[in-house]
Amino acid sequence: MKKKSKVSKGTVKKIFRYIKGYRMLLAASLLMGALSVALSLFIPLLIGNAIDCITTPGNVDIDKIVRILIIGVISVAIAALSQWVMNIINNKITYNVIRDIRRDAFEKIEILPLSYVDTHPTGETVSRVISDVDQFADGLLMGFSQFFTGVLTILGTLVFMLTISPSITVAVVVLTPISLFVAAFIAKNTHAMFMLRAKTNAEQTAFIDEAITGQKVIAAFSAQDKKQDEFEEINVQLADCSLKAIFFSALINPSTRFVNSLVYATVALIGALSVIGFDGGLGVVFSGITVGNLTTLLSYANQYTKPFNEISGVVTELQNSLACAERIFALIEEKPEIPDPENAFVMETPSGDVTLSDVSFSYDPARPLIQHLSLDVQSGKKIAIVGPTGCGKTTLINLIMRFYDVCDGSIKMSFTDKSGYKVNEDIRNITRKSMRAAYGMVLQDTWLKYGTIRENILIGKPDATDEEMIAAAKAAHSHSFIRRLPNGYDTVIGEDGGSLSQGQKQLLSITRVMLCLPPMLILDEATSSIDTRTEQKIQSAFAELMRGRTSFIVAHRLSTIRESDTILVMKDGNVIEMGTHEELLAKNGFYAKLSAAGQMNSDIDT
């Protein structure tokens, strides 16, 4: 419990860091808040004075009442105006703060190590950026609009009360801490419940995410009922912990209100006795106020109790929003990729040589994968990578593209630096952006974003002309199907390619690469979903593209592999054979065996 509240304190500090940029606005908001509070406290005082003028028939001082009421009208107008301005400022601060937080969260997503993205369910991370921030905003807005004015109202009321009756003020001051104590006690005990709720909520979001993306499969197997049951299970869990969190935190409000009604009764008692004069002995003497004063005091007691309710309501909301903020900050503070070193090279003209020296890598230290791999790839060569599933083909590409950093050893690329010297540098000393720009990559798992076909193709080269784009689409044989879409290149495709087939998506991924013509290529099963005939046509375009470009190809079609300059045969993370097709056949080893089976990327697990 203690540890938890410490975390909260850290979170509060972090929230203030975001608010800091809006210091001036915050000051303005406080000023407006103070003005509106002071005036709204001044009004009951005026009313009390007016009531004192309303005595008995025939003795009412109407002129004085009118004078008082005119001041009242002015005060009300100014109070309302300052309240409005304050609300607008608070809105502005809140929505700007959460905009900033979301921006930071997203920027972090862009630089998170791939290992984070690969191991965390998408839905859960999304829930942090979207719903957690939303709930946090609700809490923050309430905090701004009610917390400060609440505190000001309490302090202001005490001051105004003090001017009327010190003894009543003392009684009020003695009684109210009970209310704060109760609120604090409940809030403290509900934090853990809210954390549990946020966690369960995230689990449910992840489940929903998976079920919605996989809905078609679920429908195909009529497994809706089963999924529904699984959903029900989490849903009931969530309902249980929500009920607890909501109910217990909702106790704050009635409890403080009860304390408040006690305060109200006390003010009424002491106030009434003071009006008529009372000597309780032992020096306890109440006296010296009017009926108007009593009315003012009771009105204060009411106004005074209101902020306690509000503050306690805010505390509940803050509990929830702090729990959410904690989860957001956990994402924002997630360790990013090691940043590019300050003096990192910007590789503009890669020569195409890639050297792997003694590279070792594993995702999980307990299960070594690539060990002591050395490889020298010369500019313009075609490297085919073959081997059974899990042998490290995709991992090798993860390393070459620096999606993951090697655990040991180094990968070097050579390029011509600004002064014209040829340099051979570890890729960790080259900016990721310029390093990756050297490659054109097509993966088996295609990725398209929501947007037009055009936007999706232009990803690699945003400033390409229509002619260039169409030429690329023709080379990738995607032009004919794009043309048939309702709006051609301006057809909006849904998330993840919407209703396009896998093959069409792959053609679009290829079109991207055809458009930006990078100096080096990585093709990881780039044509696996494309029909043989189209593939063959694309192959000739690829062959054209590969001429003079260093290319890494993971493919299973014999023809593609046969034409490579070097074939790497991988098994269990190691290159076990290396050479040309003929050399490897002559060796009569693992490659020859695979070749005889007619298939290079044997997916037979070994």
Partner 1 sequence: MIKLLTYLKGYKKECILAPLFKLLEASFELIVPLIIAAIIDYGITPEALSPDKPFIYRMCLCLALLGIVGLMCAVIAQYFAAKAAVGFSKELKSSLFRKIQSLSFTEFDTLGNSTMITRMTSDVNQLQNAVNLTLRLFLRAPVIVFGAMIMAFTVDAKAAVTFVIIIPLLSFVVFGIMYLTVPLYKKVQEHLDRLLGITRENLSGARVIRAFGREDSETERFNGANDRLSVMQRVVGRISALTNPLTFLLINAAIIVLIYIGAINVQAGDLTQGEVIALYNYMSQILVELIKLANLIVTVTKGLASGKRISGVMELSSSLDDNGTSVPTGGADVVFDNVTLTYKNAGSPSLFAINLHASDGETIGIIGGTGSGKSSVVNLIPRFYEATEGAVIIGGKNVKEYPVETLRKMIGIVPQYARLFKGTVRDNLKMGNENATDEELVTALKDAQAWDFISAKPGILDYEIEQAGRNLSGGQKQRLTIARALVRRPKILILDDSASALDYATDAALRRSISRLEYRPTTFIVSQRASSVLGADRVLVLEDGESVGFDTPAKLLESCEVYREIYYCQFPDEKKEEVSGI
Taking CB under 8 A as the criterion, which residues in 95-114 touch partner 1? 95-96, 98-99, 102-103, 106-107, 109-112, 114
Torsional sign, CA 24, 25, 26, 31 = positive
Q: Are 248 and 190 in contact (CB under 8 A)?
A: yes
Altogether, the residues listed in the chain come to a count of 606
Nearest CB to partner 1, comparing residues 7 and 113 = 113
Question: Which two structure tokens, joined as six digits, stand for 119?
Answer: 């191991």
> Which of these ranges, 181-189, 349-357, 523-531, 573-581, lies near partner 1 under the rule CB under 8 A?
523-531
Q: How many CB atoms lie within 10 A of CB 75?
A: 18
Nearest CB to partner 1, comparing residues 31 and 211 = 211
Span 571-590, contacts to partner 1 by CB under 8 A: none
Q: Phi first, then psi: what are they for 177, rounded to 5°? A: -55, -25
Residue 280 contacts partner 1 per CB under 8 A = no
Rounded to a whole number of angstroms, the minimum distance from the CB of residue 405 to partner 1 is 13
Nearest CB to partner 1, comparing residues 342 and 531 = 531
Nearest CB to partner 1, comparing residues 173 and 219 = 219
Span 432-471, contacts to partner 1 by CB under 8 A: 432-433, 436-437, 439, 441, 443-445, 447, 449-450, 459-460, 462
> Which of these ranges, 253-261, 341-349, 352-360, 422-430, lies near partner 1 under the rule CB under 8 A?
253-261
Nearest CB to partner 1, comparing residues 7 and 178 = 178
**How far is 388 from 374, CA to CA, in rounded Å?**
19
Candidate residues 8, 29, 255, 551; the one interacting with partner 1 per rule CB under 8 A: 255
Residue 366 contacts partner 1 per CB under 8 A = no
Residue 341 contacts partner 1 per CB under 8 A = no
**How far is 388 from 186, CA to CA, in rounded Å?**
59
Question: Which two structure tokens, joined as six digits, stand for 214?
Answer: 């996989």
Residue 529 contacts partner 1 per CB under 8 A = yes
Nearest CB to partner 1, comparing residues 7 and 298 = 298
Tokens 């037979």 correspond to what residue?
604
Rounded to a whole number of angstroms, the minimum distance from the CB of residue 5 to partner 1 is 24
Residue 490 contacts partner 1 per CB under 8 A = no
Nearest CB to partner 1, comparing residues 364 and 466 = 364
**How far is 215 from 224, CA to CA, in rounded Å?**
9
Rounded to a whole number of angstroms, the minimum distance from the CB of residue 191 to partner 1 is 17
Candidate residues 26, 360, 380, 481; the one interacting with partner 1 per rule CB under 8 A: 481
Angle (CA) 542-545-548 rounded to 5° is 130
Q: Which of 422, 342, 407 is nearest to 373 (CA)?
A: 407
Residue 593 contacts partner 1 per CB under 8 A = no
Site string for partner 1, 166-205 (x = CB under 8 A): -----------------------------------x--xx
**How far is 263 from 168, CA to CA, in rounded Å?**
10
> Which of these ranges, 3-11, 13-21, 116-124, 179-187, lies near partner 1 under the rule CB under 8 A?
116-124
Q: Which of 239, 252, 427 is nearest to 350 (CA)?
A: 427
Residue 355 contacts partner 1 per CB under 8 A = no
Candidate residues 178, 298, 464, 517; the one interacting with partner 1 per rule CB under 8 A: 298
Question: Which two structure tokens, joined as six digits, stand for 308?
Answer: 């306690």
Question: Which two structure tokens, joined as six digits, stand for 235?
Answer: 């849903």
> Which of these ranges, 153-161, 263-271, 353-361, 540-548, lies near partner 1 under the rule CB under 8 A?
263-271
Angle (CA) 497-498-499 rounded to 5° is 110
Rounded to a whole number of angstroms, the minimum distance from the CB of residue 185 to partner 1 is 15
Calculate the alpha carbon distances from 574 to 36, 201, 375, 378, 560 in Å: 74, 43, 11, 20, 22
Rounded to a whole number of angstroms, the minimum distance from the CB of residue 90 to partner 1 is 8
Calculate the alpha carbon distances from 240 to 13, 196, 228, 233, 337 in Å: 31, 10, 18, 11, 39
Residue 550 contacts partner 1 per CB under 8 A = no
Residue 565 contacts partner 1 per CB under 8 A = no
Q: Which of 433, 413, 300, 378 is nearest to 548 (CA)?
A: 378
Rounded to a whole number of angstroms, the minimum distance from the CB of residue 101 to partner 1 is 10
Residue 265 contacts partner 1 per CB under 8 A = yes
Residue 310 contacts partner 1 per CB under 8 A = yes
**How far is 396 from 404, CA to CA, in rounded Å?**
10
**How far is 585 from 573, CA to CA, in rounded Å?**
21
Nearest CB to partner 1, comparing residues 88 and 330 = 88
Site string for partner 1, 208-247 (x = CB under 8 A): xxxxxxxxxxxxxxxxx-xxx--xx--xx-xx--xx--xx
Across 438-565, where does the E strand assignment appear?
439-442, 451-452, 492-493, 520-524, 550-554
Rounded to a whole number of angstroms, the minimum distance from the CB of residue 2 to partner 1 is 28
Residue 360 contacts partner 1 per CB under 8 A = no
Q: How many CB atoms lie within 10 A of CB 211?
A: 17
Across 89-190, where does the E strand assignment appear?
none
Nearest CB to partner 1, comparing residues 356 and 391 = 391
Residue 423 contacts partner 1 per CB under 8 A = no
**How far is 410 from 75, CA to CA, in rounded Å?**
74
3-state secondary structure of 382: strand
Span 123-152, contacts to partner 1 by CB under 8 A: 123, 125-127, 129-131, 134-135, 138, 142, 145-146
User: What residue type is 368 in one-letter code?
Assistant: P
Count of residues in contact with partner 1, rule CB under 8 A: 186
Angle (CA) 95-97-100 rounded to 5° is 110
**How far is 511 from 482, CA to CA, in rounded Å?**
11
Residue 258 contacts partner 1 per CB under 8 A = yes
Residue 601 contacts partner 1 per CB under 8 A = yes
Region label for 451, one of left (φ > 0), alpha (ψ between -120 and 50) or beta (otherwise): left
Candidate residues 12, 69, 155, 330; the one interacting with partner 1 per rule CB under 8 A: 69
